[in-house]
Amino acid sequence: MLNYKAYFNTMTNRCWTLPIVILYVTEGCNLQCRMCSYRKPLPDELTLDEIQKLADELLSFGLRHIVFSGGEPLLRKNFPDICQIFSRVNIKQTLLTNGLLLSKRYQEIQSYFHEIIVSLDGATADVQNSIRGVDSFDTILQGVKKVVSSNQRPLISFRIVIQKSNFRQMPMMIELARSLKIDRISFLAVDVRSVAYGRLETGETISDSSVNLNHEECSEFEEIIKQLSIDYQKQFENGFISESPEKLHHLAQYFKALIKEAEFPRNHCNAPNVSAVITSTGDVLPCYFLPSYGNIRQNILSSIVNSESIRQTRSEVKAYTLKQCQQCVCTLHVPFRNALFDKF
C-alpha cells in the first residue's frame, strides 16, 4: 500500500504522519560511559498509562516503527508491558540496549522485537570496560549468545561508537561479530559537540582529547579503513557491515574536521520529517541532537509536530544551515521512494 502522507512529509515541512519514533523509556542507565551522562532515572518519567495514551496517539498517527532507547530500556521493570502496548498492531519494534541485562531479561521480551541493537565499544574486555565505566564485557556477550542461540530470534546487531581508544579494534570487532554469528555491525563516530546523551541536564562536556583522534591517529584510521575495504569486501557488499567503505571514510574525515584538518563531511538527513524522539518525561525532539519543541503532557502530539518552530527547523535542516547538522554523527535519511512505499 502506498503511504502518500509519509511521501508528503518528505516533500514539505509539514508532518502528515509520524512513521518512526524513538522512545526513551527511562534515562537511568547501569553503565557509566565516558561520553554520556545518563545515570539515574528521572523522578517524573512517563507512567504506563501515559505511554498507553501516547501509543494510541502514535498508532492513529501512522506509526510504523518504534525504537526503544534511553538510558537503558531493560532497566525499566515494566518494559515488557510497554512492548505489549505497541504490539497490538503490526509495527516494527527495535530495542537499542547496552546489553548488560539482555541475558537476564531476554525471555520476557523475546517475542516483541524485529531487531535488537547492542551497543558495544570494545572487542576486548579492557577496552569495552574502560569506555563504559563498568565491568560489562563478558555479561554482554553472554546476553548476545543467548539471543543468537534462541529459536525464532530477532535480528541482532552491534553498534560501535568509534573513538580514540577503540578505532584500532575495528577489524577485531568485525571478527567478534562474525564469530558470534550476529547479523550485522555498524560504526558511528563519537559525539562530542552536542548536548545529547544527558549532557544538557548535567551541563557536562567531555574532553575532546580523551576521545578524539589526533593527526597521526586520523592517518592510521584511514589506513585501517582502506585495509577493511579489501579484507571485508564481501561483508560490505552483503550488508553485514552496515556502512559502505565510503561512509567509513566520512568517519575519518569527521575526526580530521574536529582537529581542523578537513571540512566536516556533508550529511544527508531528514530525521525531523519522518521521525521524532520522545524522552522519558515526554519532551518531543526533532532528532537526538536538536532541542525539544513541546511536551506530550501539555499538548497533543499532532499539534506539537506541526508547530511553527518545528516547521522552521525542518526547513533549516533541509537548507543545511544548522551547525548541529553540519557536525552530526548520527543522521537518518529516508528517501521519498521508501516513504511512499511505506518502508520504515
Part in contact with ligand SF4 (CB under 6 A); list of ranges 146-154, 226-234, 281-289, 304-312: 281-289
State which of positions 299-328 bind ligand SF4 (CB under 6 A).
Answer: 317, 322, 324-325, 328
Candidates 15, 118, 271, 284; binder of ligand SF4 (CB under 6 A) is 271
9 binds ligand SF4 (CB under 6 A): no
Question: Total residues contacting ligand SF4 (rule CB under 6 A)?
Answer: 24
Closest distance to ligand SF4 from the beta carbon of 324 (Å): 4
Asked if 331 interacts with ligand SF4 (CB under 6 A), we say yes
Pairing type for strands 155-162 and 184-189 reads parallel
163 binds ligand SF4 (CB under 6 A): no
Q: How far is the CB of 72 from ligand SF4 (least distance, A)?
A: 5
The angle at the Cα of 167, spanning 162 to 168, to the nearest 5 degrees, equals: 165
Instruction: Please tell me whether residue 290 binds ligand SF4 under the rule CB under 6 A.
Output: yes
Using CB under 6 A as the binding rule, whether residue 255 contacts ligand SF4 is answered as: no
- Residue 289 touches ligand SF4, criterion: CB under 6 A: yes
Of the ranges 60-68, 172-180, 249-257, 287-295, which one interacts with ligand SF4 (CB under 6 A)? 287-295
CA 139, 196, 169, 153: dihedral to nearest 10 degrees? 50
From 62, 70, 143, 294, residue interacting with ligand SF4 (rule: CB under 6 A): 70
- The CB-of-331 to ligand SF4 minimum distance in angstroms stands at 5
Least spacing, CB of residue 174 vs ligand SF4, in Å = 21
> Interface residues with ligand SF4 (CB under 6 A)?
29, 31, 33, 36, 38, 70-72, 98, 197, 267, 269, 271-272, 286-287, 289-290, 317, 322, 324-325, 328, 331
